[in-house]
Structure 1
Amino acid sequence: MRAWLNFLSVMAAAGCLGVACTGNIGPVLDLVGGNAGSGGTDGGVGSGGGVPPTTADATITTSTTTGSADCGGLPDDDADGDGFSELQGDCDDCNARVNPNAIDPPTVTGDGGAAAGPVDDDCNGIPDDYAPEMCDDGLPLDDDDPYNAAKAVELCKRSSGPGDWGVVSAKWVMVDGSPPPQGDELRENFHLGHGLLPGFGPNVTPRGGARLLALSSGTARQQQDEGYESPSGFDKRYESDFPEDFPKHPRDCGDLVPAKPSDPTAIEITIRVPSNVHGFSFHVNYATFDWPYVCTDFNDYFIALLSPRPPDLIDGHILFDGQSNAMSINNTFIDVCTCEGDSPCNADGSRYDCHRGTLELLGTGFENRAGTSWLRTSAPVEPNQEITIRWGAYDAGDHLLDSTGLIDNWQWLTEEGVRVVTVEDRPAL
């Protein structure tokens, strides 16, 4: 009710009360707090702020624990220091977690649960309306717009500037962050290394939305797709330097020194974090033609680099197993595989249980090779922080035996205490 009274006071100050001011309501709404869903061309349900509509239920609450939403002062004061005054749409100026740059719980938590509700932390008058959007239906498989690649992982909302969460920028890069290779043929080869797929074969489907993002040191295509080349070795004929803090040496591989990246493809996305978020998660799935040639200089890698780095890590790489192995054939999550004889498989002294067989590789070109099935990685962030994540795949030292990484289902986490961890999140056998 207080927000509505503030709205009326602003309209009165603008000389705009009554039916004669109908055409001016939009600008006044923007002054008060923005239209619901504002803040980017791709905003939708739960994606923006705004004052509650006049028909809003007066019993809607926020997640405040500090008492009344009126902390004194003037409507244009920012009493809780969250960057928004009541005139800018803050419906609870006593609580810095509540403002138009927040999202509504419930949302997925670090342990896969859900936060409590209902609440209206984004001040748009609709409680519990945040959910990852469906914004990737119908995107072309070979779309080369990096913002559409962000949509494929459910990063739908574009930020309109400071004070508005969402995607700030997106660009294709090499795994070291440098620009893609130049020249028509090399550029075409580079862009074959990413795809917005409706699935990866018939047995691997998206974990969110209608598409998933595939990045490959070969072609990010299924066998029936135009542009597909066998992952036994598509030579794209370019190289890059190592990503930051690479090479990483696999455990139990002796003095192995991983070789320099060949045929890399990567994407780098900068995102402004909602004001009440403390972490995020996403799903990954990895397939490699390196099986069963483990512990060699030529094993491929799939990377996920976060900047700023999480405070509990020595670098920004957030995709690793319980033994701190980066994602390669030497990672302990490899369980989509097969070998002669019964499980467990012994590959150069390393044990692989291969419980899941190879059905998840059907139709991908990686049949009878190896992969991980779906995993879920989470990491902490600070509210209102600007973060950059770079996902990428590369061959190591040669242009043979390619690997593909899948990314999907970005989720914001509102509970505190999120840790960097990758866990199994596989479909039932």
Structure 2
Amino acid sequence: MGEGRTNALALESASRRELQCLAKELQLCRGNAKSDVILSHALQFLSDNPSDGEQRVRAALAALTGGARSTTAVTSPVGKTTPSRKTKAANREQVEAKSTSEGEQSGSVNEGEMAEQHAHEQEKATALSKHSSSAKNKSVVIKKAIFAPPKAGELETPEVAKKPEATPSPPITKPHTSAAPAKTSKVASQASSSSDKATTNPRSALASLENVASKKVSVSAARKDVEALVDSLDDLSFVSESRVRCSATGHEMKADRGTILAYTTGKRYLKARRLKCSFAQYAPMFVAYPDEANSDMLWCNVTESAIARDRKRVEAHIAGPKYQKELPLWRVTEAAKKQAAEEAAQRRADRVEAAKKRRLAVATKESADITDNERPAKRVAIDRSRG
């Protein structure tokens, strides 16, 4: 029971690479499976094969790490660093002994050459120790339960004294900083920088105000130009603040000077205006068709019928018997309408004038009553002052 527990602990401390290689070698599961899955399959393999399971696991890990070199178990960070230091010291002692022996044998060698050789040997020893320590760090860490512990003579040399173990430095934990204060500080810094810019750059603020004022002036000037252009053409009118309509063609466009000029110089508008001007001599008997969609038609007020916008058709309609019969009656009706409109306008003007006179009379009467009511009070006040 104890041995199985030690095997489980050893497998739990194995690295990810060791577990993957173990899974591939023993065909426990997929090599890219999770470490927990590989570990559970390995423990199941050990329980299913109590006789040779442990040996097969050792053989697989030994083949992975390079045989006897991987049998040296390292259980702590101190154990990892101690062999490298001791081997380094042993190499240094060997180099020193070799240099002294060579100095005794060859006395003709000067001290400068010996120093250079000694430094060169030390560099080689340090490079060798670094290489050995890096190779040992890369090797697989295996627990004592699976592999036999190393002998004391293999790790330590009698010539070198043991050095005190270095106490591991406590891990430095960085304080957790939340992202919200950083954002707020950034926003605050941006606001402060913008306020500083606004306060320290009065010229830029003045320039921006001047730009806004110039834009307003330019917009008002452009609006005045558009209004003047629309007023100069009798068939253009404003539909809204930003739209203009042409009564001759029924076209709507943007209230822009360039757009209006481009349309009024086009073929469609010029043709419609030419036709309108050519039939102006037949007014008021013939006028434009009430529906602007039928701009190619005219409306005859005498016969109350639609006529094609063609000079021959209009002249033929005028020479027709129906038009000649209705024309005198239409003229009488139009004259009566005109007279009635004039009389109505005169009556309206008379009513307005009479209302003005009445209001003026009422106002003068009220002012006279006010003055009459105020005079006795003044006399009483004067009499009291005299008495």
TM over 0.5: no
Task: Pick 1 or 2: higher relative contact order, CA cutoff 8 A, min separation 6.
Answer: 1
TM-score, L = length of structure 1:
0.14
More strand by share: 1
More helix by share: 2
